[in-house]
Chains A and B, each alone.
Chain A
Amino acid sequence: MITAILANIAFELKIRYRSMSSYIYFVMFFALALLMTLAAGGAIPGAMINFGTGARVFVNSPMSITFYVALLTAFNLFIIAPVFGQAICKDFINNIDQIIFSTPLKVKHFLIGRFLGALLFMLFVLSSIPLGVFVASKLPFVLPSMLGVNTLPGYLLPLLTVALPNIFIFGSIFFFIGSRTKKMAPIYITATLLFLLWSSSGQLLKDIDNKWLGTLMDPLGLSAISETIRYWTVFQQNQQIISFESYFLWNRVLWMSIGFVALIAALFSFSKTAKKAKTRRADSSGTVPLQARALSPLVNLDLKKIKWVPVLLKQLSFEFFQTVKSIYFLVIVLAGVGYMFITGTQVGKIFGTNAYPVTYNVLDFVGGTFSLFLLIVITLYTGETVWRDRDLKINQIIDALPTPNGVIFAAKFINMVLVTVLLLTAVLFSGIAIQLAYGYTNFELSQYLVRLYLVELPSYLNLIALTFFFQVVFKNKYLAHGMIVIYYLFDIFAEALGLEHYLYLFNKKPFPMYSDMNGFGHLFKIFHLYNFYWLFLSGVLIIISYGLWHRGTESTSFKKMRTPLRTILTPRLKTALALSILGFLVLGSYLFYQNNVINEYISRKETETRSYDYEKQYKIFDKRPVAQLTSVFANVDIFPEQLKVRGKLKIKFKNTTQQEIKEVLISVPNADWSLTFSIPTTEKRDDRLKVVVYTFAQPIQPNQEFEGDYAVTVDESTIKNGTNIRKIHYNGTFFNNFDYFPSFGYQSSSELGERKAREKRGLPPKLRKPAIDDKDQWQNSLLGVNGYWIDFETVVSTTADQIAIAPGYLQKEWAEGNRRYFHYKMDQKIINFYAFLSGRYEVLRDKWNDVNIEIYYHKGHEYNLQRMVNSTKKSLDYFTKHFGPYQHKQYRIIEFPRYETFAQSFPNTIPFSEGIGFIAKVDDSKEDDIDYPFYITAHELAHQWWPHQMMGANVQGADMLSESLSQYSALMVMEHEYGREKMKKFLQYELDRYLFGRSQETEYENPLYLAESQQYLHYRKGSVVLYSIKDYLGEDTFNGALKETLGKYARMAPPYMTSIDFLNVIKSKATDDQKALVTDLMEKIVIFENRPLTAQVTKLPDGTFKVSMNISSEKVYSDKEGKEEKREFSQTMDVGILGKDEKYIYLKKHTIKSGENKFEIVVKEEPFKAGVDPLNVLIDRNSKDNVMNVSHESSTAKETALQ
């Protein structure tokens, strides 16, 4: 028995040993792992990427290796499929099944042997991944700070815990399918379905309520790993090895069980005979006469001149029918459509709340995820169509027919195009169905047509051409599939590996993003230049593939490849080839000219070099006195249809320092500009680094004032590789002063920031914000050296059909020629940060007291305007009542295209992206929906206080003062509008994003009060922490502290405040117990783990209920690397009991100690759930287990008694 199994293992391995593809797979995955490691390890200049782990995680840490193995195994699915498929099907495919199975061999031995052989082989292939990482770690290129200790378990365990189970699971499933069908196609289909399951799980996981479903359905375990280690800190990621725990454990249990069942089913259900077609064998017995009856003579044929078009059509319909009629195709299409609908449930979700399924949203979500699926279909079916005649062994008949290669080739190629069109049409109908399901009927059919057939289809055409090319050149279906997988991996990772120029990345085009406001804008033209560039190349590939088209019976001869194409191609095709090459070259040259000649092509590596040079050459200007801007008058002309802007600035300066100023360093935009001063200067330009140094003939004395005139012409109509979406648009222009106007002084933000890049170039680590005790920086506001307070006035013009907006009050509006002018002026000083917008707007006007509320919106986007107005009013109510007066007399929200998805607070002027609120579909009846248009509006309005009134110094904690306070302010308005329970869901999102954010930390985590431009801190942790503090101190006390701080520190001149000032005010209002909590939350990194262990209800005789709870509580302190330490504590926390409909019938703070805590609480209403910190006020790694269903002691006791 053992020998039989061993013989089959040996046989399987021998076949693989002899096959070229084995070595190709091994080498390719080795190389990929090596490159990924080098890229993540900072060895490749300009490459910036992490594969699943945080940026500071060692490239050779067990966790990193686990991710490489898991990720590359996902792509190995399409290699595991043929390996196991062939292991079980090859005897049938090669028709030697009857010989093999007539031997005394036991079927189970045969199967087990083949299975183990394939398993061993795949393990061998995947072992190339840890090997690649290991070799990379030994090369001298990886940065020392990215390298941990190499340990054997670190390399072996991922193979055993991730690779081996996956090979086993997939192998078993493929084996089962193979044992039933004896065919390869269904195995590939199964692989596709498994792949789709994985993608779907990723989609579902975007909603935090789907964690279990999402992680369980992923057959690869990749989502489960990601979720399991989602909150692991950098320290943990560097030190720990993932074991079978949490999501990962249950995922593996589920899928290993499926694997076992599949394998056992395969062993027992395997039959030795191939399944024949079900139709009864046609009977040829006796009744057939020997001699056919006399037939009437046929008309003579004339085949001298054959019309090939009808032949082509016939063959095409035949091929198409062969492709689509099969049950497998139906299965794969249904799976794809099903996948779209799963994805469809998540359309545009932000905070778990849907957006209106406007067509672009549906296409982005549905079409985007469908593309991977189409890639698989194209890869598989191109292989089928190319090899069909040969696989079915009818090629000798077909190849001897007079049909020219051109007709055969064209039929097969067009067939694949038709299949693609069919599937894209399925996307169209699914998209419309999804829109209908949401009750949305503005289908925008033209957008569907353009996107699917003019944008997507050409990409697939290129892909089909490439697949044909691979199939023809490699002459091996499975090898060609493998090559497509490798191409696809290359496509994904090329940019990360520092290959950026679109001109050499096959099929790469700048995506023409659609915006309701701007349509496809100018992007459509640029897209098509690239599009045709690649289509011409595909033309070349197609003609070469045609030239090398395999006809006849010589299977192994590469002779034809050695024959020059010119002898194969007809003159007409030679012309076509020449034209394709010409078109490719002409467009390529034009695009090169645009990218590299008109524009300066700056690779990421070059960008790094320039930042480095800037720091090296100009650091001497840091901390030198800079003349302050005191006033700006801007004449700005926007030409949307030409994508141009002309600006003229009159700037007033003053030396507010006590020192002389001899020279000034100025950063200038990449445009035509000029700058002159009212006093004599000499100018030294550095065009490469875009800076100028002006030396004043006479040094500027303290308090001396002078003026400058700046003029600039910006042309954004040129083509720039990946950044064609810039600031000026046909409709919806939005830019700020730092985009096109000069910045004065040394800009530390222009230094090389990324840690690995700095290390690679030998620069010392850089603080993301200056240290909180850096007193020099207290002189600078949040905006750094540019943060002056200025008088601001502007005249801005645009085309007649658009409205132009800038901060300030409208003084006058007039028309001149076909242009419209707007004169805005501020009545008080503003910080030197202002924006200009222009678009075709509708305007909604409202009023709160004497404040004008205006919303400039795109026609059709009326959905949430009332929510925004309501939020504005409620916020103004709350903020003026609790913090202090609103400093302006207007509040304007201006919509801009969704190329960027943020809202930004300029003085009384809020540009607000169409992508984050204008099309939100908030369903107030849904418990989980979060009214984020309301929330964002409130947040931006809060910025008018923080920092526009209370400006922080440009040091650590500055972002906390502006963003965390705005988050808190908005939360409070929300709480008053929607109730406290509604906040829970929102805070869960914030908590999740904080905990995940720290796992992705690129440097180190700070306590909140020292936040250094760390978004997961100043937004996410800020929300949770300030809400906690409010919860403990009480709303009035905490708001009182804010009001006091504002009163003390609201100012328009240095020195500015720091977060310590704010903390001091808070602490002065707090009890000792509360002070300790504030210290924990603000000045330390603390994480709780609170949960009820039991909650039992006893009905008391008087009709009340006694709830007995046992609560477990833990608190850990984390250092900045994420190393944790558990500490004893005692602190008050909410204990809550929920009644019917999730209503709180009890919510009160109790003192809780570390460890277990027992309580008895009597309530009047019937309790359903109970728990500790039920509202997620504290930072808790598992916020979902804070509440549990109560158990009924009395009834269970009764039941026991009855038994």
Chain B
Amino acid sequence: MSLTIENVSKTYDNGVRALQNIHLQIPKGMFGLLGPNGAGKSSLMRTIATLQAPDTGSIHFQNLDALTQEEDLRKVLGYLPQEFGVYPKISATDLLDYIATLKGITDPQQRKERVLHFLELTNLSQHKNKSVNTYSGGMKQRFGIAQALIAQPQLLIVDEPTAGLDPEERLRFYNILSEIGSDVTVILSTHIVSDVADLCQNFAIINNGKVLVQTTPEKALKDIEGKVWSRIVEKQSVPAIETQYQVINSRFSAGKIIVKVYSTVAPENFDRAEASLEDYYFAHIKGFVK
């Protein structure tokens, strides 16, 4: 395994138990960390990114102990936080150059080459002399990935990178991520299931600071297959169904409501539905799968 997280727990000063006994084995390639807002994704990401220390547990990346060899880990780390600001009135080129230097790329020629390369890769070349704080959300996010990639990371952590992006920008972002070589470990946190479905070879679902499951999209689909059932009902009967069944979700369709439920055996009056990764996710989040 590339990244091993064992027994990691974290309680903040205000009493919030952000991480509880996290165990994860993360291989190379794209790994999705899926969970609703407030599940502990960012806490876990920041912990892996050496920005905060866990109360207990250990984190190893390859042969590095992330808790004691912080500096060495940072050398192979690329991190894109969920939100970030920039220095005012500094152009993208200058800022990227600065960050590249702080990453340790001290050879000016090499640095210049890389700065231009990643600005090109992230489609920012034509805006490279503009100040980053004038960028739109999507451009800023692309800049964020450029800075995360600039020093050839072996561990790339991207926290909710597509939140707030329009579909086109999201697609652009995926394209950049897909350029990354397969021998890099990429952890992508998201609350959007399709991100995982589209990009990740492996993923885990996390909620309330706990890992619910770690699997692959194929396996997940296989697991959920045949356990999702649906039925079209009137709006007023939804509450009754919710008490009776394990409802994954319910959505409107032509004035009626389609209710999807989870069940290992076929429930009465329900049709078998085609299961998706989203169903798998909700089934776990809602605690239907133990």
Contact = CB atoms under 8 A, between A and B. Distances in A.
B138 interface: yes
B79 A315 contact: no
B113 A298 contact: yes
B208 to A, nearest CB: 20
B86 A280 contact: no
A282 B135 contact: yes
B102 A311 contact: yes
A400 B85 contact: no
A76 to B, nearest CB: 30
Give the one of A282, A289, A552 with max B CB within 10 A. Answer: A282
Interface stretch (B25-33, B116-124, B247-255, B258-266): B116-124
Interface in A107-135: none
Contacts of A764: none
A295 B74 contact: no
B51 A552 contact: yes
Given A396-B81, A402-B74, A402-B103, A280 B134 contact: yes
A298 B114 contact: yes
B52 to A, nearest CB: 5
A392 B151 contact: no
Contacts of B171: 290
Contact of B127 (A282, A290, A400, A557): A282
B84 A397 contact: yes
A976 interface: no
B120 to A, nearest CB: 6
A314 interface: yes
A84 to B, nearest CB: 23
B83 interface: yes
B123 A311 contact: no
Contacts of A288: 123, 172
Contacts of B121: 292, 295
Given A289-B123, A301-B151, A552-B50, A401 B102 contact: yes
A571 interface: no
A688 interface: no
A292 B106 CA distance: 27
B89 A277 contact: yes
Interface stretch (A302-310, A372-380, A779-787, A932-940): A302-310
A306 B46 contact: no
Q: Classify chain A's interface size.
A: 35 or more
A397 B123 CA distance: 21
A402 B52 CA distance: 15
Given A284-B136, A292-B122, A402-B75, A307 B152 contact: no
Nearest to A296: B117
Interface string A550-588: 011110110000000000000000000000000000000
Contacts of A300: 152
Given A281-B136, A290-B175, A300-B152, A310 B131 contact: no
Contacts of B239: none
B231 interface: no
B134 A279 contact: yes
A99 interface: no
B244 interface: no
A277 B113 contact: no
Contact residues on B (Cβ < 8 Å of other chain), bracket:
35 or more
A607 interface: no
A1051 B261 CA distance: 125
A307 B49 CA distance: 22
A310 B75 contact: no
B83 A392 contact: no
Contact of A396 (B84, B89, B117): B84
A317 to B, nearest CB: 10
Contacts of A279: 130-131, 134
Interface in B194-232: none
A392 B106 contact: no
Contact of A322 (B87, B138, B147): B87
Contacts of A290: 168, 171-172, 175
A399 B135 CA distance: 23
A401 B51 contact: no
A554 B53 CA distance: 9
A281 B134 contact: yes
Contacts of A388: 87
A396 B13 contact: no
Contacts of A281: 134-136
Contact of A392 (B86, B127, B130): B86
A1160 to B, nearest CB: 74
Given A292-B176, A310-B106, A394 B87 contact: yes
A553 B52 CA distance: 6
Contact of A556 (B13, B89, B168): B13
Given A279-B131, A394-B87, A400 B106 contact: no
Interface in A28-58: none
Contacts of A400: 49-51, 74, 77, 79, 81
Contacts of B85: 392-394
A553 B10 CA distance: 13
Contacts of A311: 101-102, 104, 106
A818 interface: no
Interface string A379-397: 0000000001000111011
Contacts of B50: 399-400, 552
Contacts of B83: 393
B101 A315 contact: yes
Contact of B51 (A315, A403, A404, A553): A553
A557 B52 CA distance: 10
Contacts of B138: 284
Contacts of B104: 303, 306, 308, 311, 402-403
A658 interface: no
B20 interface: no
Nearest to A304: B75
B27 to A, nearest CB: 22
A295 B14 CA distance: 48
A318 interface: yes
B33 to A, nearest CB: 17
A299 interface: yes
B7 interface: no
Given A284-B135, A322-B87, A400-B49, A293 B120 contact: yes
Contacts of B169: 284
Nearest to B101: A314
Contact of A299 (B53, B110, B172): B110
A401 B14 CA distance: 28
A303 B51 contact: no
A75 B168 CA distance: 56
Interface string A75-116: 000000000000000000000000000000000000000000
Interface in B76-98: 76-77, 79-81, 83-89, 98
A849 interface: no
Contacts of A392: 85-88
A315 B49 CA distance: 22
Given A288-B172, A299-B110, A404-B71, A310 B101 contact: yes
Interface in A705-757: none
B238 interface: no
Nearest to B76: A303
Contact of A282 (B77, B130, B172, B179): B130
Given A281-B136, A311-B106, A552 B52 contact: yes
9 contacts: A306-B104, A315-B98, A315-B101, A322-B87, A392-B87, A397-B79, A397-B81, A397-B147, A401-B102
Interface of A: 277, 279-282, 284, 288-293, 295, 298-301, 303-304, 306-308, 310-311, 314-315, 318, 322, 325, 388, 392-394, 396-404, 551-554, 556-557
Lowest 8 CB-CB distances: which A-B pairs, in order?
Answer: A393-B85, A306-B104, A402-B74, A396-B81, A552-B51, A400-B79, A314-B101, A310-B106
Given A277-B131, A284-B138, A552-B52, 12 more contacts: A284-B135, A292-B176, A299-B113, A303-B103, A303-B151, A306-B75, A307-B106, A325-B89, A392-B85, A396-B79, A401-B99, A401-B103
